[in-house]
Amino acid sequence: MSEQKLAAEVRTEFGKGYARRARMAGLIPAVIYGHGAEPIHITLPAKSTTLAVRVANALLSLEINGEEHLALVKDIQRDPIKQIIEHLDLLTVRTGEKVTVDIPVHLTGELAPGSVFNQEMTVISLEAEATHLPTAIEVSIEGRSAGEHIYASDLVLPKGAVLLADAESLVVNISEAAEEEAEAASSEAAAG
């Protein structure tokens, strides 16, 4: 994952009134925590920050008063109606440091005809280097048929990543399609 560079400004005002004024000015209030240091209260440019945090576990390179800070997005507070970002909680990290994150599990491929899948885990907990976090773990279900299972221990992890979830956790369960679904799938195959 590549880091996103953003210019941040230290803020000295707090509270709902200030946060509302900051958002109206195109800024997002944020706080950087971690490593036993005092929290740093900052504002970030709304547009570029919103684009940068679209991926899970976004790594941000923040320039604050001439100093560079690496930070992971730990929490995003959004307006429930407008879905705009209202506040960010960031965790300061160092190059080479290992962090614990939840990575999305994405399925690829087509099952064997007459089979359906149930994805039991949509995210998996890993420990990985903060500057080399994967955006997702790809799991191929290509050609798999009813009765097959994919467990956490079967996942192909990026180099240096350590699985924190139970190795016996079921990620994907493949079963026979119900008769109506199987008929629909076979009629689609015959039509195609």
- Mind listing the pLDDT tens digit for each residue in 119-129? 999 999 999 88
* Strand 123-129 versus strand 98-108 pairing type: antiparallel
Given a cut of 60, is residue 164 above it in pLDDT?
A: yes
pLDDT of amino acid 122: 92
Structure tokens at 78: 């959004």
Percentage with pLDDT > 70 across the chain: 91
What's the mean per-residue pLDDT of the chain? 83
Pinpoint the alpha helices (H) of the chain: 16-24, 46-52, 179-191
Displacement of CA 160 from its chain's centroid (Å): 18
pLDDT of amino acid 48: 86
Within 10 angstroms of residue 154's Cβ, the number of other Cβ atoms is 11
pLDDT class for 2, splitting at 50, 70, 90?
low
The residue written with tokens 């016996």 in the block is 168
The answer to which of 16-30, 32-46, 134-148 has the lowest mean pLDDT is: 16-30
Q: What are phi and psi of 186, to 5 degrees?
A: -70, -35
pLDDT of amino acid 184: 57
Given a cut of 60, is residue 181 above it in pLDDT?
A: no
What number is the average pLDDT over the span 96-103?
87
| pLDDT tens digits along 9-19 | 887 777 777 77
pLDDT class for 185, splitting at 50, 70, 90?
low
Calpha distance 179→10 (Å, rounded): 61
pLDDT of amino acid 190: 61
Helix (H, G, I), strand (E, B) or coil at 42: strand
Calpha distance 23→36 (Å, rounded): 29
Given a cut of 60, is residue 136 above it in pLDDT?
A: yes
pTM, full prediction = 0.69
pLDDT of amino acid 23: 77
Helix (H, G, I), strand (E, B) or coil at 35: coil
Within 10 angstroms of residue 27's Cβ, the number of other Cβ atoms is 19
* Strand 115-119 versus strand 137-140 pairing type: unpaired
Whole-angstrom CA distances from 184 to 13, 93, 104, 188, 190 are 61, 51, 30, 6, 10
| CB-CB contact of 90 with 53 (8 Å) | no
DSSP letter at 109 equals S
Report the length, in residues, of the chain: 192
Given a cut of 70, is residue 50 above it in pLDDT?
A: yes
